Amino acid sequence: MYELSNRNVLLGVTGGIAAYKAAELVRRLQDQNAKVRVVMTPAATEFITPLTMQALSGEPVHLDLLNPEAEAAMGHIELARWADALLVAPASADFIARIAHGQADDLLSTVYLACAAPKFIAPAMNQGMWAQTSTQTNIDALRKDGITILGPDSGLQACGDIGAGRLLDIDQLLTQVSAHFSRGALAGLNVVITAGPTQEAIDPVRFLSNHSSGKMGFALARAASEAGADVTLIAGPVSLNCPENVQRIDVKSAKDMLAATLEQMAGCDIFIATAAVADYTPLNVANNKIKKNSSEMELTLTRTEDILATVSALPARPFCVGFAAETNDVISYARSKLERKKLDLIVANDVSNSEIGFQSDQNKVTLISKEQALDLPQMSKLSLAAALVDEIGQRYKSN
Ligand code: PMT
């Protein structure tokens, strides 16, 4: 399985003779089923045409920061949020200097600054430029910021010099970017995840439910599987495809979800509850469609059992991770759920913001344990799931 399959890779191309290799890179990323969009600096367009990159990527190439038409189509912030990985190849000495100093004076450097996804910089330049103290200081600054530097390679250069500064071989670039998404943080573990809403029947044609799309839970299932876990996904009614290598169990009501979850608890190492489970369900379900005989109707609801709290109270309980969907006092409500349900971790998200939370492709959360709180900035649910899986894996191991 390709680690970059269905990943959104934003490829930045800067000005240098190695820019022509970016064309091959687009193709090779696509061979791995990655979705590729290209941003070029003005200098890059002197070495390879945007038309070539557009034809290869099948997507409009992004060039200008201050072009109202381009911004209206997919602006720099949307591009930054779209990316699951930002790869700049080749990265010139000038571009490296600008990003090392937080400058954002063209589209690519602005996207770079705004992007919360993992970033990979593949330098390519003359060996003398690479060896310069200023370049090395800039590279060190990027490494300290957690940026992955890929290469450069050594050998004969286009200018005739011999030394370090060649763009890393494309196979190696792909291997290193892919490796980032396959670190195996949950290798060998059994993970059970609940996702989506539940539906609580009122009569044969009506039900109570909520806005959960299942995207967050499905992204976590995919990330956990890619991190080496054996994943069972217990899904309420959603219209999403099951991630590869994940066992899916479909359920409707909170009661069904509880039963399916408890059946999966033998041998479960980590339980992650992303489902938006109904807290109340109709006390009685009508056998036939209820007729609208009066202007008002009364429905008596009864509390559902809390799946997460039930799992957390099991004698041989797994490591328990809850989600808290809140609209106000997000952190303090999440903390009280962590304590009340006796969880190891809780992920707090603000569902009052339509850009994140329910149904959105993006989320922004705080991961809370008894000891600490870690803010994870707004990013795609896939990237966030990968970051959460890393954190959960580390905390599980040190538990
Ligand atoms: O599905 P998406 O559209 O991608 O949206 C993602 C999300 C907003 C649904 C998700 O990120 C999220 O916050 N999920 C938890 C929603 C929720 O029900 O939160 P809660 O605060 O009501 O419940 C706290 C925890 O207890 C949750 O882990 C929940 O799964 C669990 N719970 C709640 C009630 C119940 N009867 N059983 C439970 O297991």
Substitution site in 210, 238, 308 for ligand 1 pocket (most atoms within 8 Å of beta carbon): 308
Substitution site in 271, 323, 328, 351 for ligand 1 pocket (most atoms within 8 Å of beta carbon): 323
Which pLDDT tens digit goes with each residue over 138-191? 999 998 888 999 999 988 888 888 899 999 999 989 988 987 776 588 988 999
CA dihedral 19, 25, 26, 31 (to 10 degrees): 170
- At residue 145, the pLDDT reads 87
- The answer to whether the CB of 215 is under 6 A from ligand 1 is yes
| 225 has a pLDDT exceeding 60 | yes
- The answer to whether the CB of 277 is under 6 A from ligand 1 is yes
- The answer to whether the CB of 348 is under 6 A from ligand 1 is no
Is residue 46 situated within a structural domain? yes
- Claim to verify: residue 66 and residue 122 sit in the same structural domain: yes
Q: How far is the CA of 127 from the centre of ligand 1 (A)?
A: 54
Which pLDDT tens digit goes with each residue over 39-92? 999 999 999 999 999 999 999 999 998 877 777 667 888 999 999 999 999 999
Q: How far apart are CA 385 and CA 361, in angstroms?
A: 12
Q: How far is the CA of 217 from the centre of ligand 1 (A)?
A: 10
- Claim to verify: residue 218 and residue 139 sit in the same structural domain: no
- At residue 180, the pLDDT reads 78
- The answer to whether the CB of 385 is under 6 A from ligand 1 is no
Percentage of the chain lying above the pLDDT 90 cut? 81
* pTM for this entry: 0.66
- The answer to whether the CB of 319 is under 6 A from ligand 1 is no
> Would residue 180 be called left, alpha or beta, if left means φ above 0 and alpha means ψ between -120 and 50 degrees?
alpha
pLDDT band at 2 (very low <50, low <70, confident <90, very high): low
- Claim to verify: residue 242 and residue 379 sit in the same structural domain: yes
- Claim to verify: residue 28 and residue 129 sit in the same structural domain: yes
- At residue 75, the pLDDT reads 83
- Which of 128, 157, 180 is the C-terminal boundary of a domain? 180
Q: How far is the CA of 379 from the centre of ligand 1 (A)?
A: 19
Containing domain of residue 350, as a range? 190-398
Atom 36, ligand 1: residue with shortest CA distance? 306
Q: How far apart are CA 224 and CA 385, in angstroms?
A: 8
| 1 has a pLDDT exceeding 60 | no
Q: How far apart are CA 251 and CA 157, in angstroms?
A: 60
- Claim to verify: residue 218 and residue 89 sit in the same structural domain: no
Is residue 185 situated within a structural domain? no
List the one residue out of 206, 323, 313, 309 whose CA is nearest residue 276: 323
Can you tell me the mean pLDDT for 115-127?
96
CATH (domain of 266):
3.40.50.10300
- Claim to verify: residue 246 and residue 388 sit in the same structural domain: yes
Q: How far is the CA of 258 from the centre of ligand 1 (A)?
A: 13
Please state, as a whole number, how many other Cβ atoms lie within 10 Å of the Cβ of residue 67.
13
The atom number, within ligand 1, closest to the CA of 309 reads: 39
> What are the strands, taking DSSP E only, across the chain?
8-13, 35-40, 85-91, 119-123, 148-149, 153-156, 162-166, 190-195, 200-203, 206-208, 230-235, 246-250, 270-273, 280-282, 301-303, 319-326, 345-350, 362-368, 373-380
Q: How far apart are CA 281 and CA 255, in angstroms?
A: 9
Chain mean pLDDT for the chain = 94
159 given a catalytic annotation: yes
Domain count, the chain: 2
pLDDT band at 104 (very low <50, low <70, confident <90, very high): very high
- The answer to whether the CB of 95 is under 6 A from ligand 1 is no
Q: How far is the CA of 274 from the centre of ligand 1 (A)?
A: 5
